Amino acid sequence: MFQPVLRIDPSCLWGRVVCGDTETTKQYDNLLHQMNLFYHDVTQDLRRLQPTSLQEGEVCVVYWSAMKWWCRAVVESVFMDLASCQAHCLLVDHGERLVVPSDRIRVAVPHFLELPFWVRRFHLAGIKPMTLKLDLDIVDNIRLSSVSLCILSVLVYISLCSLLSELIGRFCLIFQICVNDDLVAKKFALYMREADGDGLDELDQFPVMLSSNILTQTVCTTSNKLAAQTQPRPGKHPDVTSCSWQPPLSVSACLNFTRRPLCLQMLRRKQHLTLSPAECYSWPAVARGCNTVIISHNADQPLSYLVPLLTHILLNSIYASRTSSTGPIAVLLCPGWEKIQAVYDLLEEMRVIQSLHPVTVLLGIGKDEPKAVRIPKNCLLLVTTPFSLVRLLSSHCFLFLRLYHLVLDEADQLFTLAPDEMATILQHFQKITLSGEKGSCSQQLVAVAKRWTSHMESLVANHMPHPCIVTTVLEEAALYGNVQQNILVTLESSKISVLLGALDFNPDVAQKTLIIASSAQEVEDVFKNCSPVIRSMLLISEKNARHVVGVLRYLGRTNAPLPPELLSFAQSVQLVREDQKTDRPLCSYLKSFGVCRDSSVCPDRHTFISHLDQSVLPATGVIEVVPLHIKTASVFYGRIVQKEEGGFQSMESEMTSYYAEKKSGAKELLEGGLYAVQENELFHRVKLLSVPDRGDRLFFSVFARFIDIGKEEEVKSHQILQLPEQFHSLPDQAVEIIVCRVKPTDAETNWHPKVTRAISQKIRGLQHRARAVFSLGNTVFVDPMVRVTQVPGMKTVINEYNVQSEILNTGMAVSNPEHLDLLRAFCQESKTGSSKEAGQLSGFHPQVRWHQTSDSVIVTVKLMNPESQRCDFYPDRVVYSGRVNGQMYRADLELQANIAADRCCWEMKSNEPVLKLVKQQQGRWERLLRNKVPEVVFFVEDTGEDNCYVNAESGSESD
């Protein structure tokens, strides 16, 4: 009887023969316990236990770091490099192969060799490898490729996971698949058939699939035939047998896969029990060492490619140590420092730090930085950015002569952000490929991305011989296949007729046609009206408004001509989306650097709204500021020091005196309420942003803004103090301070934490002198900002440091001279664009009717049962928006006179929205709007009632 496989190799399955009693298990458990007591004993003489030399075939005891056990092992090979001596060992009681450094190898005491080796070797009969690349000087026996190990392990793992929930205690488990057949089906092996009893030498490449109801068959012992019938194939088929798996452990213990290969350990830890289609297709190629391109939606998740990649790298690391060169054997390129950190954290979780000794490198633009970098000799994996790698190559090119694996994480972003650097790196990689330094390992280039770009097409053509290209994103596959797009804009009601008119039913050159419909009914309608056709169409109607921006962004990457109607349609939709962001703050990237990192996906606002962005803060002149909360290296929150007024200092002193006598806890916590919080010896005013439902909890946390500092953070409820009314009157003191003309280097979107930390340590809490150059809302832009110190006893002051210079001196920043010009241009364009907005959105403007009394105006928006409604009242304008049948409508009414915005309201009457606008001054309005809107035409008709006027549509003067 066969106990669960401990170490799987397709040509060699390590297992234990179960005899039915538990005595044997107890003996080996006791042996393991005694060995670990002995070799963990710090009083033992290490000089006596450390071997003087290591030879192949020698039995010893090694330390298994993953399990923290000392185990019996046989040395299979010994290899030395310039840094260390290591041995490739087989754990004879566990079936695991390890690479162990010599300082973790001990002499086997004779007492621990009395029991025979616990694992035995089993083979898969009737198959042999299909493809194999081996160095005969290194490997003396034929084995299946390492990827088969991963595939077979995953098959057994999935089988076990799917059945463990139904099994308890001691149970029998059989394969859901025939492993032999599955390896053949995946083209890792070929069948063999006997030739007159003289061995298996004739190949048969046709797989035989087991019956789908294999799990319902009777489970027999290993000597019995499987009752399930298989499809016949030429030749004699070896007997297909089932194995009875009887683990002597509990079900929970069976879930411990720490003895399994690397891939299974990580899959279990991440609860990654199902592989995505991209992973199913790409993992075999990556683990085989093939050049691979992966295009998938989850390409930004490193786990989608790291598991098979690291499995292959760990195998190659053994052979790479035989080369004369040093340095990493693999380089993983990331688009920025945040991704570097995410990858390194994942490597730590995968527990490969001790095996690969990965190093992250992020260099600034300082000339001497690359020279100061020291990469450890045992580093096998380097994680960095294209910019940093090019700087390293300029000073340490000889450290990258045994580079076998080059991995491009988010490859589309790498080529977009650093095209010149990528060209340099690929040229270096190609030189290594052509050199004779690659030893026993073949080189591998893996590119992972969400999009297929022209750069990747060049990458495949020039740097990836015999590539495996995997894409599970259909629109990207269309780009890869160069599918020609034909775009038509039409009304929804005439879509079918436009389609039929555009199709050519008698083409000169045959061409396949793909018609994608938005519903099953639409598919039926198209099919009824179309005979087999041979072209491809994309029809866009007004019902596709919510998709049109994304469609246009995709079509922009093709060579398809774009209809002007589509461009205008998309522009209108984009403007509507931006107008729906009035409750969002102005984009922080736009303010910090002058441009947004990606306005198409950014959730914040990118338009200037006068009543929100008009600022009372100084836009010119010299000011004194105290940074109190450092958000990023160039964005701070703090106070503007007013020379004439001492209001804030006075309030601070009074609060300290008040709470020195009595600290009354808050009686009731209300969202939006003002309270006080003590930090060290200071008391701060806070405004509660959110208060959770406390339920039965005695202690809980609330989210609060420190209105005089600018920071937002969680505060424990018992720390919140009641704030007397006399401390409510002073306005919020915190303002946002942005230092102009600096931005992160290397196309980074965010400042590196070490830059922010360095600036915070230097400026926090200190008064600085700055020149205000611009202001928006609660933000003041300064250039420059310096620390001024007065010479004791003199009126002379000196500039201690310039904040911009300090940021640039970190090497992680560059000058951004266009910053202020971009901000001013943004404000000017937004103001100009707002006057044209009504005309640009004419297709989305609803009909409006209005009448008035002496003190109010009643506006009726002619939309039946609209959804997602929103109405904002301002002193000089009203903005209404709503959706009907998937179409977004918006009315931005600039009024000819002012209204009392806080007293206005709206409601639904007769299934239509009705807005009541309260006039600031009573009287009759001659017009409703300040400017004419051609699409909305009104005239005023006297109804005969006192002080009441009604409008109706006509062809007369527009309102």
Pairing, β 742-744 against β 712-716: unpaired
For residue 154, tell me if it sits in a domain: no
Among 415, 410, 407, 292, which residue's Cα sits nearest to residue 356?
407
Instruction: Give the pLDDT band (50/70/90) at residue 309.
Output: confident
What pLDDT sits at residue 318?
62
> Are 432 and 336 within one domain?
yes
For residue 929, tell me if it sits in a domain: no
- Tokens 């109010």, residue? 856
- Asked whether residue 921 carries a pLDDT value surpassing 50, the answer given is yes
Q: Residues 359, 381: contact at Cβ < 8 Å? A: yes
> Are 422 and 567 within one domain?
no
- Distance CA(365)–CA(363), nearest Å, equals 7
Poorest-confidence range of 206-220, 556-570, 752-766, 831-845? Answer: 206-220
> Are 548 and 682 within one domain?
no
CATH number at residue 50: 2.30.30.140
For residue 793, tell me if it sits in a domain: no
* pLDDT tens for each residue of 692-740: 887 777 788 899 999 999 999 999 988 899 898 888 888 888 999 999 9
Among 782, 458, 749, 763, which residue's Cα sits nearest to residue 617?
782
- Distance CA(382)–CA(379), nearest Å, equals 7
- Asked whether residue 651 carries a pLDDT value surpassing 70, the answer given is yes
Q: Is 650 exposed, middle or buried (0-12, 13-18, 19+ CB in 10 A)?
A: exposed
| Cβ-proximal residues to 852 (8 Å cutoff; 6+ apart), any chain | 858, 924, 925, 948, 949
Q: Which has more confidence, 906 or 642?
A: 906
* pLDDT tens for each residue of 79-116: 776 667 888 898 998 888 888 888 899 999 999 999 99
> Are 326 and 451 within one domain?
yes
For residue 226, tell me if it sits in a domain: no
> Are 667 and 715 within one domain?
yes
Of 127, 145, 164, which residue constitutes the final position of a domain?
A: 127
| Cβ-proximal residues to 630 (8 Å cutoff; 6+ apart), any chain | 636, 756, 759, 760, 763, 764
Q: Residues 211, 229: contact at Cβ < 8 Å? A: yes
- Asked whether residue 895 carries a pLDDT value surpassing 70, the answer given is yes
Of 127, 160, 188, which residue constitutes the final position of a domain?
A: 127
CB < 8 Å & 24+ apart, contacts of 64-71:
64/91, 64/94, 64/96, 64/98, 65/104, 65/354, 66/258, 66/259, 66/351, 67/258, 67/259, 69/32, 69/36, 70/35, 70/36, 70/38, 70/39, 70/40, 70/106, 71/32, 71/35
Structure tokens at 154: 């995953």
> Are 120 and 100 within one domain?
yes
- Asked whether residue 916 carries a pLDDT value surpassing 70, the answer given is yes
Instruction: Give the pLDDT band (50/70/90) at residue 266.
Output: low
- Asked whether residue 210 carries a pLDDT value surpassing 70, the answer given is no
Query: Which amino acid, one-letter code, is at 940?
Result: V
* pLDDT tens for each residue of 32-85: 999 999 999 988 888 889 998 888 889 999 999 888 899 999 998 887 766 678
What's the mean pLDDT in 809-818? 92
Q: Which has more confidence, 341 or 248?
A: 341
Structure tokens at 582: 């009035």
Q: Which has more confidence, 523 or 374?
A: 374
Task: Give whichever of 39-53, 127-141, 150-164, 165-179 has the largest mean pLDDT.
Answer: 39-53
Q: Which has more confidence, 889 or 212?
A: 889
> Are 103 and 74 within one domain?
yes
Q: Residues 448, 305: contact at Cβ < 8 Å? A: yes
What's the mean pLDDT in 355-365? 89
Instruction: Give the pLDDT band (50/70/90) at residue 140.
Output: very low
Instruction: Give the pLDDT band (50/70/90) at residue 623.
Output: very high
> Are 321 and 446 within one domain?
yes
* pLDDT tens for each residue of 532-548: 554 556 677 767 777 77
> Are 292 and 433 within one domain?
yes
> Are 517 and 433 within one domain?
no
Poorest-confidence range of 458-472, 693-707, 755-769, 945-959? Answer: 945-959
Structure tokens at 179: 């492993």
For residue 927, tell me if it sits in a domain: no
Longest dimension (CA), the chain: 117
For the CA atoms of 712, 714, 720, 724, the dihedral, rounded to the nearest 10 degrees, stands at: 20
Q: Residues 743, 597: contact at Cβ < 8 Å? A: no
What pLDDT sits at residue 2?
54
Q: Which has more confidence, 663 or 636?
A: 636
> Are 426 and 509 within one domain?
no
Task: Give whichever of 297-306, 735-744, 859-868 has the largest mean pLDDT.
Answer: 735-744
Structure tokens at 896: 């000819």
What pLDDT sits at residue 162?
36
Q: Residues 303, 352: contact at Cβ < 8 Å? A: no
Structure tokens at 465: 């011989």
What's the mean pLDDT in 112-132? 76
For residue 233, tell me if it sits in a domain: no
Number of Cβ within a 10 Å radius of residue 353: 13
Asked whether the CA dihedral 896, 901, 903, 908 is positive or negative, the reply is: positive
- Asked whether residue 936 carries a pLDDT value surpassing 60, the answer given is no
SS3 at position 936: coil
Tell me the C-alpha to C-alpha distance, in Å, between residue 235 and each of 123, 189, 459: 21, 17, 45
* pLDDT tens for each residue of 473-491: 888 888 888 877 777 777 7
Instruction: Give the pLDDT band (50/70/90) at residue 147.
Output: very low
CATH number at residue 380: 3.40.50.300
| Cβ-proximal residues to 145 (8 Å cutoff; 6+ apart), any chain | 129, 131, 132, 188, 288
Q: Which domain holds residue 888?
A: 848-918
Q: Which has more confidence, 324 or 752?
A: 752
SS3 at position 906: strand
Structure tokens at 655: 């609060």
For residue 608, tell me if it sits in a domain: no
Among 265, 268, 320, which residue's Cα sits nearest to residue 289?
320
Of 127, 162, 183, which residue constitutes the final position of a domain?
A: 127
Alpha helices in 744-818 (DSSP H): 753-763, 803-809
> Are 462 and 545 within one domain?
no
Indicate whether this model's pTM tops 0.85: no
- Asked whether residue 527 carries a pLDDT value surpassing 90, the answer given is no
What pLDDT sits at residue 419?
92
Task: Work out the mean pLDDT of the chain and round it to a whole number.
Answer: 76
Torsions phi, psi of 455, nearest 5? -60, -40
Poorest-confidence range of 467-471, 504-508, 729-733, 886-890? Answer: 504-508
Query: Which amino acid, one-letter code, is at 660?
Result: A
Q: Is 226 exposed, middle or buried (0-12, 13-18, 19+ CB in 10 A)?
A: buried
Query: Which amino acid, one-letter code, is at 819?
Result: H
CATH number at residue 889: 2.60.40.790
The total number of structural domains that make up the chain:
5
What's the mean pLDDT in 280-294? 88
What's the mean pLDDT in 919-937? 74
- Output the CA angle 411-413-417, nearest 5 degrees: 125
Poorest-confidence range of 2-11, 246-255, 711-720? Answer: 246-255
- Distance CA(737)–CA(772), nearest Å, equals 10
Residue 289 DSSP code: T
- Distance CA(582)–CA(890), nearest Å, equals 13
What's the mean pLDDT in 330-351? 90
Among 284, 240, 11, 287, which residue's Cα sits nearest to residue 129?
11
For residue 838, tell me if it sits in a domain: no
Among 631, 641, 732, 629, which residue's Cα sits nearest to residue 685?
732
